[in-house]
Amino acid sequence: MRIAILTSGGDAPGMNACIRSAVRVAKSLNWTVFGIKRGYRGLIYGELEEMGSRSVSNIIQRGGTILRASRCKEFETDEGLQQAKRTLEAFGIQALIVIGGDGSFHGAVALAKIWDGQIIGIPGTIDNDLVGTDITIGYDTAVNTAVWAIDKIRDTAEAQERYFLVEVMGREAGFIALDAGLSGGAEEVLVPEIHTDLGEIHKRLMQGKQRGKTSSIVIVAEGNHEGSAFEIASKLKKLCGSEYRVVVLGHIQRGGSPTARDRILATKLGAFAIDVLAEGKTGVMVGEVRGDLVTTPLEDTWKTKKPLDPYLLRLNTILET
């Protein structure tokens, strides 16, 4: 069996642990493994290198991805897809493993329409916005990084008796915001899944002040319909005259050494992807749901929106008082 692995889209901590696991399990079956550099771009331009157990030494603890990743517009064109197919044929690849998020899986589905090989997706994104797995590789590390930052902001907010808006990543999903907000004891969490009423938010923060709160932290998930944290700060200033300091955590959430939870998830899913290939499956994402390793058709991972945990949302509104 000749397989190739790529990491695509936004990198996520734990991708390296996943590559390591998939490569070593595949090698234990005497398969030939190629690593594709820079995601679909490398597939188009034939940037493949054979990998062995030693090429994945000393990477389980490293953030980023040794294979590099990219967002590749060319792969969305017919010519790009055809060129990718030619590369796979030239290297005699029978199966492709794509570690990435929904954009990467859209690409995988498009490729499956013109290429006969097997394709397996592994959920690697900090956003956690894929159906078919309880959490995605990188999510736990990103949440922990956000909480680490929120704890520090809390110290200065409290010392200066200030209000902060902290913007976290997640594109159009509020998973990082909700978990980081809950873990960091935020006063408010604004997620894209729920309509934000800025007047109401300000009112609740002022009620908190009357109850003796001297500082507050509001977590803003990217993709809020009111705009970025900076835009929300200026709207709040116009609306109520209050000053909100803004911190955008940004790409810091994508980096760093993966947590043990991410390393374990990545290791399990990397190995399971090989098992699933050996069974002859294709067009599915591997995931972990309530402790079980499962597969989900790639299209189903993005067709319906993964819901935020309603219990956590309810709890959050009680605890933030």
Interface ranges with ligand F6P (CB under 6 A): 10, 71, 101, 125-127, 169-171, 222, 254
Indicate the pairing of strand 2-7 with strand 292-297: unpaired
State which residue, 125 or 215, has the beta carbon closest to ligand F6P. Answer: 125
Assess whether 292 carries a catalytic annotation. no
CB of 167 to ligand F6P, least distance (A): 11
Helix, strand, or coil (residue 78):
helix
CB of 171 to ligand F6P, least distance (A): 4
Chain CA centroid to CA 151, Å: 22
Stated as kind and residue range, the H or E segment containing 112 is helix 102-112
Helix, strand, or coil (residue 197):
coil
Helices (H), the chain: 15-28, 39-44, 78-90, 102-112, 139-160, 175-183, 198-210, 229-240, 260-278, 300-303, 310-319
State which residue, 42 or 117, has the beta carbon closest to ligand F6P. Answer: 42
Contacts for 301 with CB less than 8 Å, ≥ 6 apart: 102, 105, 121, 123, 130, 131, 132, 285
Please check whether residue 172 is in contact with residue 129, taking contact to mean a CB–CB distance below 8 angstroms: yes
CB of 102 to ligand F6P, least distance (A): 9
The 10 Å Cβ neighbour count of residue 179 is: 26
State which residue, 2 or 71, has the beta carbon closest to ligand F6P. Answer: 71
CB of 306 to ligand F6P, least distance (A): 14
State which residue, 104 or 118, has the beta carbon closest to ligand F6P. Answer: 104
Please check whether residue 317 is in contact with residue 190, taking contact to mean a CB–CB distance below 8 angstroms: no
Residue nearest to ligand F6P (CB): 10
CB of 129 to ligand F6P, least distance (A): 8
Report how far residue 16's alpha carbon sits from residue 137's, in angstroms, rounded to the nearest whole number. 10
Stated as kind and residue range, the H or E segment containing 24 is helix 15-28
CB of 253 to ligand F6P, least distance (A): 7
State which residue, 134 or 158, has the beta carbon closest to ligand F6P. Answer: 134
Active-site annotation holder among 127, 140, 179, 262: 127
Please check whether residue 188 is in contact with residue 204, taking contact to mean a CB–CB distance below 8 angstroms: yes
Which tokens in the block code for residue 209? 């002040």
State which residue, 127 or 140, has the beta carbon closest to ligand F6P. Answer: 127
Helices (H), 161-217: 175-183, 198-210
Please check whether residue 166 is in contact with residue 151, taking contact to mean a CB–CB distance below 8 angstroms: no
Which residues carry out catalysis? 127
